[in-house]
Amino acid sequence: MVDRTRPRPFIGLTFIFFALFPLLLYRAEGRWGLILAFVVYGLREIGEPARKALITNLMPESHRAQAVGAYWAARSFFFFPAPLVGAWVWTSLGPRPLLLLSSAVCAVGAAMFLLGFGKRSSVS
């Protein structure tokens, strides 16, 4: 479907599902609430191939492999504190505030993507 349309809507759905999962997990009551939360967790993969292709296609072709490797290294470096912050929030405030914080952070990221923050003209 992505090849026949544009990748942005599918990537946007991925980010929305990333934001919805912790919120649904927070609100889950009983078996069906958990089932719904984990269905949404699986749906967040809908735009992953398109997102990764978008990242790759933004790199210069002559240096694509090196640039993709540098991107993933930089991404890992800048996001490595997240589990430490999560552990601190969990131990200090509990799991429910951690789920709300996670959902809020993901919602901000989804909004930034959907509003075109940092969008290049070649990205559709």
> Rounded to two decimals, what is the model's pTM?
0.79
**For 73-114, what is each residue's pLDDT tens digit?**
998 999 899 999 999 999 999 999 999 999 999 999 999 988
**For 11-46, what is each residue's pLDDT tens digit?**
899 999 999 999 999 999 999 999 999 999 999 888
Domain membership of residue 71 (yes or no) is yes
Its domain, for residue 61, covers 8-114
Rounded Cα gap, residues 99 and 9, in angstroms: 25
Domain membership of residue 109 (yes or no) is yes
Domain membership of residue 55 (yes or no) is yes
Q: 42-75 in b/e burial notation, b at 16+ Cβ within 10 A?
A: ebbebbeebbeebeeeebeeeeeeebeeeeeeee
The count of structural domains within the chain is 1
Domain membership of residue 120 (yes or no) is no
Domain membership of residue 119 (yes or no) is no
- If one compares 3 and 17, the residue with the highest pLDDT of the two is 17
Domain membership of residue 42 (yes or no) is yes
Domain membership of residue 94 (yes or no) is yes
Answer yes or no: is pLDDT of 5 > 80.
no
Domain membership of residue 124 (yes or no) is no
Answer yes or no: is pLDDT of 53 > 60.
yes
